[in-house]
Structure 1
């Protein structure tokens, strides 16, 4: 029986992926002198910023200022970010139905605070799991296990809503059914090739799945 719903944030609740990509394009050029396009950085959506530094092979001595500059560019554009249509209705309905909810994100805690608090949605979630709250971040299952532990539910009694390949990999590793939030996905084919249990075109469809599983 479904008792809770776990959510990713970026590309699932908030339409942040485009500004994240623009921010890292600018930052990378400033810090390295290398001009790359948006597509080059698609891999960075859904993993912690320190992991991105490793994949990009950024020298150790500039990783901290690189991340700081990246976050500064994001802050400059956060006022442009909107919630996906219907997501508030979904959260209100799930709360009314008595389901517990958690956020499971690859942001570190400091990034979460300035990137999410302003939307006024924190009261819907009993638990927030950031990248620094689990031994290993997504695509490992650890953050989802941690969320289940804090909510006191078993993986089979929840679902995870997310938009990225890392999200579905984590869900499958944890044995949690995955609801693919296609409305915010930058690279949907990379998710579809892993066969999500549910393919959703808009947030309101989350409620249909929940009703069938409760």
Structure 2
């Protein structure tokens, strides 16, 4: 194994609560509608501006997107904690000279904000956001871009995420796939494509690499 590519929300950072809160506030303010956490999760896939445009009844999409980012940034520190285990994991992988990347459906604006707040950018060789692809996951486009930039073959890489779309995208890209359940909030408990490994704890990934792919 030469490279590990991660999803971000619900995988590397417990950002699902602030994502969901931001969307709930948008629909409450602009459509006077109250959506549950699960209803918001059903909308996930495209970057935030597209998600809002696809689901908003109000014509003020531009205002709604701006309001989302305002809510995201104002509530980030309150709803998102630094995770020392994740930091240690990424540091450990870098020490092993593993190439690391992120493929996320988030817009670059919110992604870069979270990376800066959590001081995580230093770990990664490449970053692919929802703004960088034409087709969101479960399409494999983002992962295929990452493989090309990292200069590794699919067989040399693993994609780790928390959603069924992540597993499907990884499968279509031909990489090894792992499901992360190590954060308090993750998207899927069941998968239509079976992952090669399910990581209940952060340490499970290191154990998996040592047993299966440590070369």
Q: TM-score, normalised by structure 2?
A: 0.90
1:156-205 per-position Cα deviation (integer Å, ceiling 9, x unaligned): 1100111112211211111111111112354433x434321111101121
Measure the CA separation in 2 of the matches of 1:66 and 1:202: 37
Q: Which ranges in structure 2 are unaligned for 5 or more consecutive residues?
A: none
Structure 1 segments of 4+ aligned residues over 3 angstroms from their partners: 44-47, 184-187
Q: Within 5 Å, which residues of 2 pair with 1:75-94?
A: 75-80=73-78, 81-94=80-93
- 1:154-165 to structure 2, matched below 5 A, reads 154-165=153-164
Q: CA deviation at 1:51?
A: 3.6
Q: How does 1:1-214 map to 2 (within 5 A)?
A: 2-56=1-55, 58-59=56-57, 61-80=59-78, 81-184=80-183, 185-189=185-189, 191-211=190-210, 212-214=212-214
Cα distance 1:194–1:51, how it changes in 2: closer, same or farther (>3 A)?
Answer: farther
For the residue of structure 2 that corresponds to 1:208, the secondary structure is helix
What's the C-alpha RMSD, in Å, of the aligned pairs? 1.8
Whole-Å separation in 2 of the counterparts to 1:92 and 1:186: 22
Residue correspondences, number? 211
* Residues 17 and 45, structure 1, Cα contact 8 Å, conserved in 2: no
Query: What is the distance in 2 between the residues matched to 1:60 and 1:171?
Result: 35
* Mapped partners of 2:83, 2:202: distance in 1: 8
Report the 3-state secondary structure (helix = DSSP H, G, I; strand = E; otherwise coil) of the residue aligned with 2:90: helix
- Segments of 5+ residues of structure 1 without an aligned counterpart are none
Deviation at 1:154, TM superposition (A): 0.8
